[in-house]
Amino acid sequence: MLWGSRKTINMNYFPDEVLEHVFDFITSHKDRNSVSLVCKSWYKIEKYSRQRVFLGNCYAICPERLIARFPELKSLTLKGKPHFADFNLVPDDWGGFLYPWIKAMAKSRIGLEELKLKRMVVSDESLELLSKSFPNFKSLVLVSCEGFTTDGLAAIASNCRFLRELDLQENEVEDHRGHWLSCFPESCTSLVSLNFACLKGEINLASLERLVARSTNLKSLRLNRAVPFDTLQRLLIRAPQLVDLGTGSYVHDPSSEAYNKFKAAIQSCNSIRSLSGFLEVAPRCMSAIYPICENLTFLNLSYAAGLQSNELTKLIQHCRKLQRLWILDCIGDKGLGVVASTCKELQELRVFPSNPFDAGNAAVTEEGLILVSEGCPKLNSLLYFCQQMTNAALITVANCTNFIRFRLCILDPIKPDPVTNQPLDEGFGAIVRSCKGLKRLSLSGLLTDQVFYYIGMYAKKHEMLSIAFAGDSDKGMLYVLNGCKKLRKLEIRDCPFGDAALLEDMGEYETMRSLWMSTCDVTLGACKMLAKKMPNLNVEIINESEQTESNLDDSQKVDKMYLYRTLVGHREDAPEFVWLL
């Protein structure tokens, strides 16, 4: 009855342009993917109107097919190597090359405007081709990439006439010194964001000053260590409109003229909301930035090894509006207490180890975390490297139910609760139980199968799980695979999970982006079987020994296995040490 009285509108009577216009409002990748599945005409309309594509694994599809699918592509995000490559678990030359993508897009005359890459190998050649093939190219963001030098950057600077964004985050760049920045032509005035903090070498300071002076839209500027304090001061005078600032060398004599000028300059930069840098820092000069602290929403001092706890806390006491804080563990538990009492808007906290390989000396413990979780009600994202953790602390922290990302790294990876000597199962169990929106979890400490039981039972929204040195048996992994249906990325190292767990539910892997298992109990035979049964998966073994494939028998355990779903089968650029099963 109710149905009958409703007027249904058949959207297919709308002309394509109208549908396209409607689709313009749908920006999330997931939603657009869903839209394209509705019917053929929607698929077609969506296909031609799709401009932004995100590819979490560059080997899931090949460039040609991507271009065929989305010919109007303007913005592409690509991720290459598996996450554990960040920690040296993946040998060089594994893959993730940008060049084929640039070549294919150039050939098909794609009007590429934005490119964002993570963990890819980017050659100078590809940067040069990029700079010459896409006249409207506007934005290049490289995160944790490698393979290029400042010559490639020079090509980008020279040829991309409308460049708005050049953002280099934590890349390994071979620095041929200085001249790339001078390659920005005088006519280039479009820069909005320039981040070269990861470069190690000198740059031409005069060119930098001129560039900043003529880039009136510049909002984000992150300098590298080679830019001295004097220059920083002069840059601030030219760019008081900055929203995001990364200092270069922050060392100067507090009694000097330049320092006084700096203090004056920074006071007029009242748009700055985000501050980073301080790779070199003179602690006594920090007071100069107090005036801008009250407006900061993001503070990244995670590279400021020269600041001690008291300097850090003095600074943070001025930062009442902070939403994101990245800091070194030398801040200490007490310092975190100051954070807890000052930064009531805090959403994201990352505490990095200042001495990563010195487990006895991490300066923060569970106490700091408790203080922050109690004092910052909006906390939803955590990365915490610490000396130790207790179940009681985690249970207390679990009262902060908003966590979306929870990554805990105890520097000694199998350390139990030091008070009770129990594994941390109950603590993490409490976290997954009460944080119903948890999407990303990284575990550490002494853990048994029990924690996986909890994860499987409660962590329904989990998308990414990182496990190391945990569990007792295959059951652990099975709990996870069976319980976390939304899992997209699972990465496991040094756990006693073997063939039974791997092969139990092979279809599961097609719903995930990738699975990494290293130093587990998985055998070559099982991997081969998985590869055979699941043609839509690429199962890759990384073998760094001198044995060849034929020498190993199936019962031997593999050291590193990486599998991912793909539409295009085996990749062609795998190096010798990667076996494609």
Partner 1 sequence: MSPPLLGVEEEVQSNVSSPSVDCGLGLKERNYLGLSDCSSVDSSGVCLPDNNKNNLNLKATELRLGLPGSQSPDRETELCLLNSGKLDEKPLFPLLPSKDGICSSSQKNVVTGNKRGFSEVKGYVYKEKNWMFHEAGSDSESPQSVGHGKYPGISGVNVILSAMSHGAQASVTKDEPANVLQKQPHATSGINLKQTDISNNKSSAPAAKAQVVGWPPVRSFRAKTLANSSKNNDEVDGKPGPASLFVKVSMDGAPYLRKVDLRTYSTYRELSAALEKMFSCFTLGQCGSHAAAGKEILSQSKLKDLLHGSEYVLIYKDKDGDWMLVGDVPWEMFIETCKRLKIMKSSDAIGLAPRAVEKSKATN
Which residues from 376-435 bind partner 1, rule CB under 8 A? 385, 387-388, 409, 411-416, 418, 421
Interface with partner 1, residue 276, by CB under 8 A: no
| Distance of alpha carbon 478 from alpha carbon 501, whole angstroms | 6
- Supply the minimum distance, in Å, between the C-beta of residue 223 and partner 1: 14
Q: 390: helix, coil or strand?
A: coil
Interface with partner 1, residue 166, by CB under 8 A: no
Single residue of 36, 49, 144, 215 touching partner 1 by CB under 8 A: 144
Residue 135 or 356: the one with the smaller Cβ distance to partner 1 is 356
| Distance of alpha carbon 327 from alpha carbon 350, whole angstroms | 6
- Supply the minimum distance, in Å, between the C-beta of residue 87 and partner 1: 4
Single residue of 11, 135, 555, 575 touching partner 1 by CB under 8 A: 555
**Pick from 214, 213, 232, 215: which is nearest to 223 by CA?**
232
Q: 134: helix, coil or strand?
A: coil
Beta pairing partners, 54: 77
Q: In the numeric block, which tokens belong to residue 236?
A: 């601030």
Question: 432-436 long-range contacts, Cβ below 8 Å, gap at least 24?
Answer: 432/458, 432/459, 433/398, 433/458, 434/398, 434/399, 434/401, 435/398, 435/400, 435/401, 435/402, 435/403, 435/404, 435/406, 436/401, 436/460, 436/461
Residue 225 or 571: the one with the smaller Cβ distance to partner 1 is 225
Interface with partner 1, residue 170, by CB under 8 A: yes
Q: In the numeric block, which tokens belong to residue 495?
A: 């756990």
Single residue of 27, 37, 544, 576 touching partner 1 by CB under 8 A: 544
Residue 560 or 565: the one with the smaller Cβ distance to partner 1 is 560
Interface with partner 1, residue 442, by CB under 8 A: yes
Q: Do 564 and 515 form a contact (C-beta atoms < 8 A)?
A: yes
Interface with partner 1, residue 357, by CB under 8 A: yes
Give the contacts of 547 (CB within 8 A, at least 6 positions apart): none
Which residues from 523-542 bind partner 1, rule CB under 8 A? 524
Which residues from 456-515 bind partner 1, rule CB under 8 A? 466, 468-469, 472-473, 493-496, 498
Residue 137 or 229: the one with the smaller Cβ distance to partner 1 is 229
| Distance of alpha carbon 507 from alpha carbon 515, whole angstroms | 13
Task: Say what angle helices 332-342 and 366-375 make with each other, to 10 degrees.
Answer: 0
Residue 184 or 326: the one with the smaller Cβ distance to partner 1 is 326
Choices 49-57, 123-131, 156-164, 555-563; region in contact with partner 1 by CB under 8 A = 555-563
Interface with partner 1, residue 25, by CB under 8 A: no
Interface with partner 1, residue 126, by CB under 8 A: no
Which residues from 66-105 bind partner 1, rule CB under 8 A? 84, 86-89
Residue 191 or 501: the one with the smaller Cβ distance to partner 1 is 501
Give the contacts of 451 (CB within 8 A, at least 6 positions apart): 423, 424, 425, 428, 429, 443, 470, 471, 476
- Supply the minimum distance, in Å, between the C-beta of residue 453 and partner 1: 15
